[in-house]
Amino acid sequence: MDLCGKLKRPLLFIALNLPSAIVGAVARLRIPKLVLLFVLKSFCRIYRVNMDEAEKDLEGYATFNAFFTRNLKAGAREIEGDIVAPVDGLLKSFGKVSEGRFAEVKGKEFSLKGLFEGDEKWRLFQDGFYFNFYLAPGDYHHVHSPLSGKIGGYIYIPGTLFPVNDFWIGLIDGIYFMNERVITLIESKYGSVAVVKVGAFNVGSISVKYAPLKTNLLAKRRVTSVTLNPPYEIGVGERLATFNLGSTVVLLFEDSTIPSSRARFLSSGMKVRYGLRIA
Q: What are phi and psi of 135, to 5 degrees?
A: -100, 115
CB contact set of 156 (below 8 Å; sequence gap of 6+): 181, 182, 183, 213, 215, 223, 224, 226
The whole-model pTM stands at: 0.84
Q: Are 154 and 223 in contact (CB under 8 A)?
A: no
- Tell me the pLDDT tens digit for each residue of 31-50: 888 999 998 999 899 989 99
- Tell me the pLDDT tens digit for each residue of 130-155: 999 988 888 998 999 999 999 999 99
Q: How far is CA 67 from CA 72, 111, 136, 237, in A?
A: 11, 35, 15, 21
- The predicted structure's pLDDT at residue 180: 83
Name the amino acid, one letter, at 149: G
Name the amino acid, one letter, at 251: L
Distance CA 116, CA 125 (A): 11
- The predicted structure's pLDDT at residue 163: 56
Question: Which helix (H) or strand (E) covers residue 15, if one does?
Answer: helix 9-27
Catalytic residues: 88, 144, 247
